[in-house]
Amino acid sequence: MRNAALPRFAVFALIAAAGLLPVFADGGDILIKNATILTVTKGVIPKGDILVVDGIIKEIGGTIAAPPGVRVVDAAGRFVLPGIIDSHTHIALAGTNEGSEAITPEADVGTVVNADDTAILTALSGGVTMVHTMHGSANPIGGPNVVLKTKWGRPSEDLVVKEALPTLKFALGENVKQSGRTVQPGQTQRYPATRMGANAIIRREFAKARNYMAQWDRYDQAAKAKNPPRTLVPPRKDLRLEVLAEVLRGERVARVHSYQATETLEFMELAKEFGFKIQCFEHIWEGYKIADEMAAAGIGISVFADSWAYKMEAAEGIAGMAGYCHNRGVLVSINSDSGERIRRLFNDAAKTMKYGGLSEEEALKLVTINPAIQLGVDRIVGSLEAGKQGDIAIFSEHPMSAYTRCDMTIIEGDVYFDREALVKEREQAEAEAAKKAAAPRDKGGVS
């Protein structure tokens, strides 16, 4: 964290003083009027209203009368879109990588959610309302990830989206083989140090998990028998293998950090061999080389728009990738992987128009409904439809324009980011400071 030198409460106090705390006194009701509404799944309403009641979108359409007591936001000339969803980031966590061992599926980032990470505010300032915040990529098998709403100011348990699909982080390539790391004298190189090893260690762990499940099956069967053997003892509980067993039973899906075509195809072979589900490949810069395989397997991708050439395996990461894969039938989302880039995901999505030939409507999907599908929450968020949760962003211009700006971010009908209010407070503070500076010094006399 940037403010590591300051105790956390001090950061919080500073932010409170700066007037950045959210206004969540609306009780989940809000009416936005006169906006261009980009519903994402139901077309564009050139000028219309949208009403949220008790956190749920109640009505979208022409002119909606304000129910008594409901806050009304006039968005004339502005654009309303579903809250942006980041399918891959690491914000709001007190720890990211349990990198001391190669296999750590028990290390669940959901247990270290940090609701006062200021990156949540940064995300809100870019219209982001939901994030899939993940274990890092230091290990072939990392840990479970967690889906959060960016409800700044609320306790961490309120942020967790329980409806989301449980996921487990895997990683391949340069990070897990630690090719960027210098082994210090006295240290040994961690296994795996090659892509062969990375694949082998994952296979080994799944084989162990399968065997572990068989041990329990056998025990359960025996225990159920009429006369169970007196020597019957249950297998030893293994928290690592329990998580992998969830993956093998289809209760948890794989999210796999990968870059190169070969390692990705080989991971798909592993999934076939063991019968588990890959939900998404992450970054997957060589995805355009194997788009057909991914499309056929129904595997999505969560990628950068154009951040590339930072390491060898990203040297063929072309900006046309996301659009190309989208056109080949792969479910694509644009992710941030960053507490900064998260506030300009809409800019990144727009790049797929230039480099992938996508339309404005298609490009917007890559940061709204597509990540919602990937996270298994498209029934509740990702588009503006009656019955879905009222997660909404208001932009000054079309979100795919380079000149646009997020003006307001709303989660379940509550306003969490309001640029106009922030600017007003800043101007007041500046005016007060100027007045103070101009005032004659108090010399201790009678005033």
* Interface contacts to another protein, rule CB under 8 A: 2-3, 5, 11, 14-15, 18, 20, 118, 121-122, 125, 180, 288-289, 292, 306-312, 314-316, 318-320, 324, 339-341, 343-344, 347, 350-351, 353-355, 360, 396-397, 400-405, 422, 426
Nearer Cβ to another protein (102/290): 290
* Minimal distance, residue 324 CB to another protein, in Å: 6
Is the CB of 158 or the CB of 292 nearer to another protein? Answer: 292
Contact between 412 and 423 under an 8 Å Cβ cutoff? The reply is: no
Q: Which residue matches tokens 């390491």?
A: 311
Contact 395, 83 (CB under 8 A): no
Instruction: Tell me how far apart the alpha carbons of residues 64 and 37 are, in angstroms, rounded to a whole number.
Output: 14
Distance CA 395, CA 82 (A): 11
Cβ 81 to another protein shortest distance, Å? 16
- Dihedral of CA 181/183/189/195: which sign? positive
Quote the least distance from Cβ 256 to another protein, whole Å. 21
Count CB-CB contacts under 10 A for residue 154. Answer: 17
Q: Concatenated DSSP letters for 136-166?
A: -SSSSEEEE-EEEE--TTS-HHHHB-TTSPP
* 20 vs 92, beta carbon nearer another protein: 20
Of 378 and 418, CB closest to another protein:
418
Closest approach of Cβ 40 to another protein, in Å?
A: 18
d(CA 173, CA 333): 21
Q: How far is the CB of 53 from another protein (least distance, A)?
A: 30
Closest separation in Å from C-beta 354 to another protein: 6
Omega of the bond prior to 192 within 30 degrees of 0, cis?
Answer: yes
Considering the complex, state which of residue 206 and residue 304 has its C-beta at the smaller distance from another protein: 304
Which of residues 41 and 396 has its CB atom nearest to another protein in the complex? 396
In whole angstroms, what is the distance from residue 310 CA to residue 178 CA? 15
Q: Which is nearer to another protein, 104 or 338 (CB)?
A: 338
Q: Which residues contact 364 (CB under 8 A, 6 or more apart)?
A: 38, 40, 81, 346, 349, 399, 400
Shortest Å distance, C-beta 403 to another protein: 5
Residue 270 CB neighbours (<10 A): 17
**Two structure tokens written together for 37:** 């509404």
CB of 214 vs another protein, minimal distance in Å: 40
Select 164 or 314, whichever has its Cβ closest to another protein: 314
Identify the sign of the CA torsion 111, 115, 256, 175.
negative
